[in-house]
């Protein structure tokens, strides 16, 4: 694991702050030495929240509290007063009294006032001042339902406005990260995206005539159709298993690039070229992987799945580089280092969006926007 212990973040927007001398926010960044580092999700609800002392000083927790707002309410629904002294680079876990025994054993405080379904905004306050927040008060937005949010080790700074990009979405019930302010990947590994775990080569490609088993098989390239569709040559046994013909096209799971064939859209040809280049650069290391528990086929009879070019998941690369928005269907069991493919792609979309890449804001240099036709 990539440890946060004693990793000091230097940010020019932050002013000096002493944990023992009160609370003073600065714009979006609050200068708080105490912040929300994890929202742990159990079977159905968030069972715990983890706070982290990212400073070199002891923190008197009696100055702090947690306020929770049900749904879109603007009045506090649940309130937790904190207590004790939190040492530098240590965590403080608040658990719901109905949480699992494993969670309660990690908790510093157990209370029936910590109630959260991944939609309720949770606010860390020093006095009446917001030091950190997950969710948005006054709005009922799903920010962590069915996921555990774990703060990125390189984004350890409190804010008075929630920013989803500060966190990694982990599969629920991953209790190993609770109480230690860690990630399972480095910042570079998160940006590089998932890798194809060897275990998936032992999984079946299909679990029934309709559903995928999550297995990965090596294929040969027939031809690239567009940014999100490719025709492959499959092993003969897979043809019989799936009841398909050779060269059946594969539609990439979770992505939908702009059109580039019969119809054309801005960035469509560029997305098609991007995919084609990845395929040809890794011509001898191409793999397709079905979605574990997901449909084997899409509406038009094409296969549906993840496509790997060497150690690059093309589905992920398309989202990261701004060639596609992320489509739903999460398949939480398809993961790398405890993080689902979907969560990797969600993080990639947040980054591409904030950078304004391609479909998120850039103009296609090969498109005439006045006539709405390709150049």
pLDDT at 248 over 60: yes
Residue 44 pLDDT class (50, 70, 90 cuts): confident
Lowest mean pLDDT among 51-55, 258-262, 311-315: 258-262
Lowest mean pLDDT among 41-45, 48-52, 175-179, 210-214: 41-45
pLDDT at 18 over 90: no
- Tell me what the mean pLDDT of segment 171-186 comes to: 94
Number of neighbours of residue 21 by Cβ within 10 angstroms: 9
Residue 181 pLDDT class (50, 70, 90 cuts): very high
Q: In sequence order, which residues have a C-beta less than 8 Å from that of residue 227 and are 6 or more positions away?
A: 255, 257, 258, 260, 268, 271, 272, 274, 275, 318, 323, 324
pLDDT at 5 over 60: no
Q: What is the mean pLDDT of the chain?
A: 91
If you ran DSSP here, which 8-state letter would residue 214 be given? -
CA dihedral 235, 236, 237, 243 (to 10 degrees): 110
Task: Give pLDDT, residue 331.
Answer: 81
* Chain segment 320-346, per-residue pLDDT in tens: 999 999 998 888 889 999 999 999 999
Domains within the chain, CATH numbers bracketed = 2-183 (2.60.40.1260), 198-360 (2.40.50.90)
> Can you give the three-state secondary structure of 313-358, one letter per residue?
EHHHHHHHCCCCEECCCCCCCCEECCEEHHHHHHHHHHHHHHHCCH
Alpha-helical runs (H) found in the chain:
101-106, 187-192, 236-242, 268-281, 314-320, 341-355
> How far apart, in Å, are the Cα atoms of 314 and each of 28, 33, 161, 252, 324?
35, 39, 33, 8, 11
* Chain segment 116-163, per-residue pLDDT in tens: 999 999 999 999 999 999 999 999 999 988 889 999 999 999 999 999
d(CA 166, CA 182): 13
């Amino acid at each position: 694991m990539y440890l946060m212990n004693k990793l000091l973040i230097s940010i020019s927007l932050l002013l000096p702050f002493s944990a023992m001398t009160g609370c003073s926010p600065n714009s979006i960044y609050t200068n708080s030495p105490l912040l929300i580092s994890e929202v742990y999700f159990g079977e159905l609800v968030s069972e715990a929240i983890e706070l982290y002392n990212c400073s070199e000083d002891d923190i008197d927790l009696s100055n702090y509290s947690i306020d929770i707002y049900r749904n879109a309410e603007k009045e506090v629904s649940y309130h937790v007063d904190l207590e004790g002294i939190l040492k530098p680079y240590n965590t403080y876990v608040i658990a719901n009294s109905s949480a699992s025994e494993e969670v309660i054993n990690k908790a510093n405080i157990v209370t029936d006032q910590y109630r959260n379904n991944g939609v309720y905004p949770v606010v860390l306050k020093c006095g009446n001042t917001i030091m950190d927040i997950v969710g948005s008060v006054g709005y009922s937005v799903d920010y962590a339902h069915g996921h555990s949010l774990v703060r990125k080790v390189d984004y350890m700074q409190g804010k008075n406005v929630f920013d989803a990009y500060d966190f990694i979405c982990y599969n629920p019930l991953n209790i190993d990260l609770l109480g230690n302010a860690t990630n399972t990947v480095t910042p570079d590994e998160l940006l590089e995206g998932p890798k194809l775990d060897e275990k998936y080569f032992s999984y079946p490609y299909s679990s029934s005539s309709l559903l995928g088993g999550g297995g990965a098989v090596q294929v040969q390239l027939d031809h690239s159709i567009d940014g999100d569709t490719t025709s492959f040559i499959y092993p003969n046994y897979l043809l019989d298993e799936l009841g398909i013909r050779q060269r059946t096209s594969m539609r990439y799971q979770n992505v939908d690039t702009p059109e580039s064939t019969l119809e054309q859209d801005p960035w469509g040809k560029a997305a098609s070229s991007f995919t084609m280049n990845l395929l040809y650069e890794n011509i001898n290391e191409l793999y397709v992987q079905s979605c574990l528990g997901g449909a084997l086929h899409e509406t038009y009879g094409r296969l549906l799945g993840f496509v790997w070019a060497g150690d690059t998941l093309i589905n992920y690369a398309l989202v990261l580089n701004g060639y596609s928005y992320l489509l739903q269907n999460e398949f939480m069991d398809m993961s790398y280092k405890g993080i689902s493919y979907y969560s990797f792609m969600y993080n990639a979309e947040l980054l591409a969006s904030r950078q304004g890449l391609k479909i998120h804001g850039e103009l296609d240099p090969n498109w005439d926007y006045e006539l709405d036709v390709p150049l």
